[in-house]
Amino acid sequence: MRVRQLNPDVLIAEDLSVGPRLMGVALVAMGVAAVYLPTAPSIPGDTHAAWLAVFLAIAGVAVFRAAGSRIVMFDRAAGLVRVQIRALLGTAAFVYRLPDIADAILELEPAGDGRYVYRASFVMRDGTHRAWATYATGYPANEVRVLQAVRQFLGTDASASGPDGTPAIPGPRDPMRSPIG
């Protein structure tokens, strides 16, 4: 995820998932190259190349589409925060009023399998949390700077804790360590 500040009133945080998209393009390219593979003697005709090409092309499109993207635009002049999410099965868009957002925090929750999930969330003035990004693969160290920029834009970066008193940006957890001991 990267953050851009176009002017003092507009901040954009975006995750375009470039790595997985490039992998999808590479799979489609390998599918096209598979058409030109020499025919194996045990398989009649060019069926092996055609099936391989179709499989790689479908896998490439699926990987490209599953990568998704997320754009969060903070517009102080309009008083709005727009969240646009594109994923494998479609798109979603959310609009929040900027005055309704009290803070932006990084939540830490157990995933049920002994690991933890990190979620970037808005803390709304009514006490609810609205997630706008989830990181299930581990501590999102690269995205912490994005969250810090969002907190600075909102004016909540002076406090190390969120409105409920929990750390706004918790440190990484050791997945091998028991939360009890």
Give the model confidence (pLDDT) of 2-24 as tens digits. Answer: 888 888 899 998 876 667 777 88
Sheet architecture: strand order including 116-124: 101-110, 116-124, 129-135
Q: What pLDDT shows up at residue 37? A: 63
**Cβ atoms within 10 Å of 128's Cβ, excluding its own:** 10
Q: What pLDDT shows up at residue 18? A: 65
Least reliable range by pLDDT among 61-70, 97-106, 161-170: 61-70
Phi, psi of 72 (to 5 degrees): -120, 115
Q: No. of H helices and E strands in the chain?
A: 3, 8
Q: What pLDDT shows up at residue 180? A: 46
Q: What pLDDT shows up at residue 181? A: 38
Least reliable range by pLDDT among 28-32, 33-37, 88-92: 33-37
What does the block give as tokens for 49?
Answer: 């190349």
Q: What pLDDT shows up at residue 177? A: 45
Asked whether the predicted pLDDT for residue 161 surpasses 50, the reply is yes
Give the model confidence (pLDDT) of 40-78 as tens digits. Answer: 555 555 566 677 778 888 888 877 777 677 889 999 999
Name the pLDDT band for 179 (thresholds 50, 70, 90): very low
Q: What pLDDT shows up at residue 166? A: 82
What does each C-alpha distance from 129 to 62, 105, 125, 126 come to in angstroms? Answer: 31, 9, 9, 9
- Please check whether residue 20 is in contact with residue 64, taking contact to mean a CB–CB distance below 8 angstroms: yes
**pTM listed for this prediction:** 0.69
Label each residue of 102-149 as H, E or C.
EEEEEEEEECCCCCEEEEEEEEECCCCEEEEEEECCCCCHHHHHHHHH
Q: What pLDDT shows up at residue 23? A: 81
- Please check whether residue 1 is in contact with residue 147, taking contact to mean a CB–CB distance below 8 angstroms: no
Residue 152 CB-density burial (10 A; 0-12 exposed, 13-18 middle, 19+ buried) = middle
Phi, psi of 43 (to 5 degrees): -110, 120
Q: What pLDDT shows up at residue 178? A: 44
- Rounded Cα distance between 29 and 34, Å, is 9
- Please check whether residue 13 is in contact with residue 149, taking contact to mean a CB–CB distance below 8 angstroms: yes
Give the model confidence (pLDDT) of 109-160 as tens digits. Answer: 877 777 778 888 899 999 899 988 777 666 787 788 888 999 999 998 888 8
